[in-house]
Amino acid sequence: MKLICSKADILRSVNIALKAVSTKTTMAILECFLIDATTSEIKMLANDMELGIETIVKGDILEKGVIAINAKIFSEIIRKLPDNDVVIETNDNYMMTITCEKAKFNIAGKSGDDFSYLPVIERDKYITLSQFTLKEIIRQTIFSIADNDSNRMMTGELFEINGNVLRVVSLDGHRISIRKVELNESYDDVKVVVQGKTLSEVSKILSGEADDTVNIFFTKNHIVFEFDNTVVVSRLIEGEYFRINQMLSSDYETKFTINKKEFLNCIDRSTLLVKEGDKKPIIISVNDQEIELKINSSLGSMNENIDIRKEGKDLVIGFNPKFLIDALRVIDDEEVDIYLVNSKAPCFIRDKEENYIYLILPVNFSQA
């Protein structure tokens, strides 16, 4: 095999494929990229058996071939080469020579025979979104998945399609995030749970441009994202997702509308007095024209008032400040509506069309 690529092009593909290289494995082949130049295109693949990525490298094929090469070593070499054309050659013994200007590396590769190519996926059920929309949906929900495997279902996100509406849901036992997006056309119903890790990695690769599209294909066991000469295949999480609709209520006793930036900045300031690992709630007293926010810790105390527009009863309620910050940070509206029932019931932050809903459970606190 002999290839010539610019450093920038090969590095772009390396950075994409690296996201599917296994870091915890006893199988050496899962720590490799497969560079496949047996057709008219140079393909770079990585597959950790849960997540697989195939991306096309721009470049010229002078001699066809295929090789598996340790991804960590290969990527570090490419990263540190001069910014010029890179020549990659292999011989019959799977030795790879990488040459760029006066730099020359020889590294041992492997036969590609043991490498697991991406599974062949039927591509009949799919939707098309702008890359900007998908990136935003992930940004606005990914923070509320669980970060441990004690409940695997909570480490993923529900993707649900009804007609021309896509609903994406994540939860971790303390909060729920929901984003609803109208699609350009109606599709068959779909209900799958996608791994959070996959969505996080896809989000990093997406351009985020409104004019660039991504096709998302669904099967019984896999989801496929196809965009920009890249294919990402991921196993779905099997099982029944939580019955979200039973947790959502439109009833409320108190509703207030507040400037999002002011509210967010105030909560953010309050956390200056909370040591890492301390679970100090922020206490919110809802009155007629304003709310008062208070926090007390071993480092000191803070209280601040913010003007609001209110309907309903006065109320005192406590929250983990991080959960409020996470939700407010991803909302783009200038003002937010907050719905409350009592000091022990969840709070809802949602817009009128319910394009986003954030449910946050309150915490017990002593008013002493």
DSSP string of 297-318, one letter each residue: ETTEEEEEEEE-EEEE--EEEE
Give the integer Cα–Cα distance in Å for 332 and 262.
Answer: 13
Confidence at residue 368, expressed as pLDDT on a 0 to 100 scale: 37
**What three-state secondary structure class fits 165?**
strand
Domains 126-243 and 248-360 share a fold: yes
Average pLDDT over residues 282-296: 96
Check pLDDT > 50 for residue 278: yes
The dihedral built from the CA positions of residue 144, 148, 154 and 158, taken in this order, carries a sign that is positive
Check pLDDT > 50 for residue 132: yes
Q: Where is 326: in which H helix or E strand?
A: helix 321-330
Of the candidates 340, 270, 329, the one whose C-alpha atom is nearest the C-alpha of residue 300 is: 270
Give the integer Cα–Cα distance in Å for 225 and 216.
Answer: 5
CA angle 191, 167, 332 (to 5 degrees): 155
Give the integer Cα–Cα distance in Å for 325 and 331.
Answer: 10
* Fold topology of 2-114: DNA Polymerase III; Chain A, domain 2 (3.10.150)
CA 297 to chain centre: 33
Of the candidates 241, 231, 269, the one whose C-alpha atom is nearest the C-alpha of residue 160 is: 241
Q: Around Cβ 216, how many Cβ atoms within 10 Å?
A: 23
Structural domain boundaries of the chain? 2-114, 126-243, 248-360
Average pLDDT over residues 293-322: 95
Does the pTM exceed 0.85?
yes
Of the candidates 143, 138, 115, 144, the one whose C-alpha atom is nearest the C-alpha of residue 223 is: 138
Average pLDDT over residues 57-70: 98
Architecture of the structural domain at 126-243: Roll (3.10)
* Fold topology of 248-360: DNA Polymerase III; Chain A, domain 2 (3.10.150)
Contact status, residue 32 vs residue 69, Cβ threshold 8 Å: yes
CA angle 163, 330, 126 (to 5 degrees): 25
Give the integer Cα–Cα distance in Å for 98 and 120.
Answer: 32
Of the candidates 83, 64, 76, 84, the one whose C-alpha atom is nearest the C-alpha of residue 105 is: 76
Confidence at residue 276, expressed as pLDDT on a 0 to 100 scale: 80
CA of 327: how far to CAs of 4, 237, 270, 301, in Å?
A: 47, 25, 16, 24
68-126 pLDDT tens trace: 999 999 999 999 999 999 999 999 999 999 999 999 999 999 999 989 999 888 888 89
Question: E-assigned strands of 9-155?
Answer: 32-37, 42-47, 51-57, 60-63, 65-70, 85-90, 95-100, 103-108, 126-130
Check pLDDT > 60 for residue 21: yes
Our CA dihedral for 101, 102, 108, 113, rounded to 10 degrees, sits at 20
Q: Where is 178: in which H helix or E strand?
A: strand 175-195
Average pLDDT, the chain: 95
In terms of phi and psi (left: phi > 0; alpha: psi -120 to 50; beta: otherwise), the region of 102 is alpha
Confidence at residue 367, expressed as pLDDT on a 0 to 100 scale: 52
